[in-house]
Amino acid sequence: MTRIISGSVGGRRLATPPGDATRPTSDRVREALFSRLEHLDVLVGSRVLDLYAGSGALGLEALSRGAVQASLVDSDRGAAGIARTNARALGFADRVLVRAEPVERVLITGPASPDERVGLVFVDPPYDLADERLADVLALLVRHTWLAPDALVVVERSGRSAQPRWPAGLSASGERRYGETKVWFADAPGPDEVA
């Protein structure tokens, strides 16, 4: 069972896509991750981009804890439909945009305006996604100006994976291991660091 851990809709259950095509982030990992995000004070008032969203658990958890808007992206139409259903069931439909498209295609379009840049990005691809493709996705985030100043990017991978190759414009800022899952963090430059 997947559920929202805490916040305004804490304890509510989430539907998940059937089968093993998606790998939901475990409650234990989400609890530890969001504890860190709250400590870093990056949730309240943020705009969130959840890539490879599956059921939408990460983006919806962020909304429950004070984020103002979330875009959930998954190439699987069934998973995107479940994320949309979850957003409606939690009362977040007006604050969630769900896109059933390949992540790279969405990133290439860029945000519609500078006001739509995001302060928090979750990148939780299938564990078998090649390191090169992950590097391309991270580069697209920077190249197509998705990131607001001081944005935080969170990448979840198998504990056996190498650290992501961070493009210019993102600086590694830590990692955590939770059992078989590893989470990396990277910061975008703040307004004083942007040339």
Tell me what pLDDT residue 32 has: 94
Assess if residue 192 is contained within a domain: no
Assess if residue 193 is contained within a domain: no
Strand ranges inside 159-195, DSSP E: 171-178, 181-187
Assess if residue 118 is contained within a domain: yes
Assess if residue 194 is contained within a domain: no
- Residue 29's CATH number: 3.40.50.150
Strand ranges inside 32-110, DSSP E: 47-51, 69-73, 96-99
Tell me what pLDDT residue 19 has: 64
Assess if residue 195 is contained within a domain: no
The residue type found at 123 is V
pLDDT tens-place string over residues 61-79: 999 999 999 999 999 999 9
The residue type found at 67 is A
Assess if residue 163 is contained within a domain: yes
Q: Which domain holds residue 146?
A: 2-187
Assess if residue 71 is contained within a domain: yes
Distance CA 31, CA 93 (A): 23
**Structure tokens of 95?**
């604050």
Assess if residue 148 is contained within a domain: yes
Tell me what pLDDT residue 145 has: 94
> Count of domains in the chain?
1
If the chain, 195 residues long, is cut into consecutive pieces of 10 residues, what is the mean pLDDT of each piece? 93 86 76 96 97 96 98 96 98 97 96 94 93 97 96 95 95 93 93 55
Helix then strand count (H, E) for the chain reads 5, 9
Tell me what pLDDT residue 189 has: 86
CA 132 to centroid of chain Cα atoms: 19
